[in-house]
Amino acid sequence: MPATSSLTPLEENPGVSYIMPILNEAAHIEDAVRSILAQDYPGPKEIVLALGPSTDGTNEIVGRLQAGEPRLRSVTSPTGRTPAGLNLALDASRYPVIIRVDAHTELEPHYTARGVATLRRTGAADVGGLMDAQGRTPFQRAVAAAYVSPLGLGGAAYHSGAPEGPAESAYLGVFRREALDAVGHFEETLWRGQDWDMCLRLRQAGYDVWFDPGLKVTYWPRSSWSKLVRQFYAAGIWRAELARRHKEGKSVRHFIPPLLVGGLAAGTAAGALTISGATRSWPAWLKLPAAAAALLPAFYAAGVAGTSATAKADLTASERLLLCIVLPSIHVSWGLGYLRGRLLGAAGTVDTSRRKS
C-alpha cells in the first residue's frame, strides 16, 4: 500500500550524511569508516561520528583518521548511549539523506547508490537491506551462522531475506531527513530498539519503511561467548520494554524464547525429581506430565544438534560444535532478558557487551 505522507522528490545524487555512534570499537572502527569512504557514489558525502567515553583507544584512532580526511567529523557523546549519539550526530549533519551506520558493520561499495536509488524509486522514508553476518574467528563464524538460521534469529526480513516491499522495520536505515524532522529524533529513553521505534513512528505518520534485498551490510558479531550472552540478554530486556510501551511491539515469535526458558527449567526440574525417585509416590495423572516435561531438554538438544549439523553455512566440524553452544546461548539469554523486561521493564539496562572487558 502506498504511503499516505509524501516527501519532496530527491535529486539524482543528493548529499549523504553517515551517522555513527561509537563506544569502545577500536577493533572495528577503522574498517567501518574506510568502507564508507570507499562508497561508489558521486554525490557529496560526510561522516559524523558520535564519540562516547571509550577506554580502548577508539577516539585516538578516530583522531588519526580525521587528520587526513576532511569529510570525517565528530561530536562528543558524553553518555555513549546509542540513541543519544545518533541524535547528536544527526544534529551536526547537513545533507538530505541520512545513513545510519554501526561500527560493527562494513558497507558494500554500491550500498549508498542503491539505497538512494531505492528512496527515489519508492518514495519511502527509510530503506534497509540484509544484515550479512560474517566472522573472522571460528566463534564469530558460528554466531554468524546462528544469525541466518531459522532456529537462530529467523523472523526479521533483514536476517533471513524476503521479497522487496514495505516492512515493519529496517536494519540500520537509509533515511530521508525530511521524514526524520517530521516525526522527531530517536527516542533517547530506548537504549536499545530505538531503530524499531523510529520505524513505527514513521509508519504511524503515513510514511513507508522499505526492505530492499539488494542492499547488504557486512556485520561482525560479538567476538566472545560472554559478550554474546550479555548482548542478547540486554536485547531481550529492551525488546520487552518495546512490548510494554507499544501494542505493535508484540509478536508471537518473541514469546518463543521465554517459553523455551520455562520449558527447559521445568524439564530439568522434572528430570531431577524423577532420577531422585521423588515422583514414585505421585499419582499417575501427575507422573505423565512430569515425564513429558523431563524429555523437553533432550528434544531441544536434539533440535540444536540437528540444526548445527545441517546449517547451510560453510562451517568446519569444530565451528558446528560451537554453533551447538551459540544457539542455546542466544535463546536462553534473550529469553531470560525478555522475562525480566516484561516483569520489571528495562530500568536503564546497559548492554555491557560494548564495554572494553
Contact 208, 168 (CB under 8 A): no
Confirm whether 244 is domain-assigned: no
Using a 10 angstrom Cβ sphere, with 0-12 exposed, 13-18 middle and 19 or more buried, the burial of residue 1 is: exposed
Confirm whether 259 is domain-assigned: yes
What pLDDT digit, counting tens, does each position of 251-273 carry?
788 888 999 999 999 999 998 98
Confirm whether 241 is domain-assigned: no
What pLDDT digit, counting tens, does each position of 94-111 carry?
999 999 999 988 999 999
Neighbours of 354 (CB within 10 A): 22
pLDDT score of 37 more than 50: yes
Contact 50, 89 (CB under 8 A): yes
Q: What is the pLDDT of residue 1?
A: 42
Count of domains in the chain?
2
283 and 321 housed in the same domain: yes
Q: What is the pLDDT of residue 356?
A: 62
Q: What is the pLDDT of residue 251?
A: 78
219 and 143 housed in the same domain: yes
What pLDDT digit, counting tens, does each position of 126-168 carry?
999 998 889 999 999 999 999 888 787 765 555 556 788 999 9
73 and 130 housed in the same domain: yes
212 and 306 housed in the same domain: no
268 and 342 housed in the same domain: yes
Using a 10 angstrom Cβ sphere, with 0-12 exposed, 13-18 middle and 19 or more buried, the burial of residue 247 is: exposed
121 and 264 housed in the same domain: no
C-alpha cell belonging to residue 246? 507499544
pLDDT score of 226 more than 50: yes
- % of the chain exceeding 90 in pLDDT: 73
203 and 272 housed in the same domain: no
214 and 253 housed in the same domain: no
Confirm whether 5 is domain-assigned: no
Q: What is the pLDDT of residue 323?
A: 96
Q: What is the pLDDT of residue 154?
A: 60
Q: Is the pTM of this model over 0.85?
A: yes
Q: What is the pLDDT of residue 160?
A: 59
pLDDT grade for 350, boundaries at 50, 70 and 90: confident
Q: What is the pLDDT of residue 156?
A: 58
Q: Which of 58-62, 152-156, 230-234, 328-332 bottoms out in mean pLDDT, i.e. has the lowest?
A: 152-156
> Can you say how many angstroms the Cα of residue 49 is from the centroid of all Cα atoms in its chain?
19
217 and 105 housed in the same domain: yes
Q: What is the mean pLDDT of residues 171-195?
A: 94
For 280, which DSSP code?
T
pLDDT score of 74 more than 70: yes
What pLDDT digit, counting tens, does each position of 295-309 carry?
999 999 999 999 999
Confirm whether 232 is domain-assigned: no
Q: What is the mean pLDDT of residues 267-288?
A: 87
258 and 206 housed in the same domain: no
Minimal CA–CA distance to 83: which of 232, 194, 246, 197? 194
Question: Which of 173, 189, 223 represents a domain boundary (last residue)?
Answer: 223
Give me the domain span that covers residue 257.
249-354
pLDDT score of 45 more than 80: yes
Q: What is the mean pLDDT of residues 273-295?
A: 86
C-alpha cell belonging to residue 203? 509508519
| pLDDT averaged over every residue in the chain | 91
Q: What is the pLDDT of residue 2?
A: 46
115 and 53 housed in the same domain: yes
Contact 261, 339 (CB under 8 A): yes
Tell me the CATH number at 124: 3.90.550.10
78 and 199 housed in the same domain: yes
Question: Which of 223, 258, 276 represents a domain boundary (last residue)?
Answer: 223
What pLDDT digit, counting tens, does each position of 6-32 carry?
899 999 999 999 999 999 999 899 999
Range 30-38 contact pairs with CB under 8 angstroms and sequence separation of 24 or more: 30/61, 30/65, 31/106, 32/101, 32/102, 32/103, 32/104, 32/105, 32/106, 33/62, 33/65, 33/72, 35/105, 35/106, 35/107, 35/218, 36/101, 36/107, 37/69, 37/71, 37/72, 38/109
Q: What is the pLDDT of residue 15?
A: 97
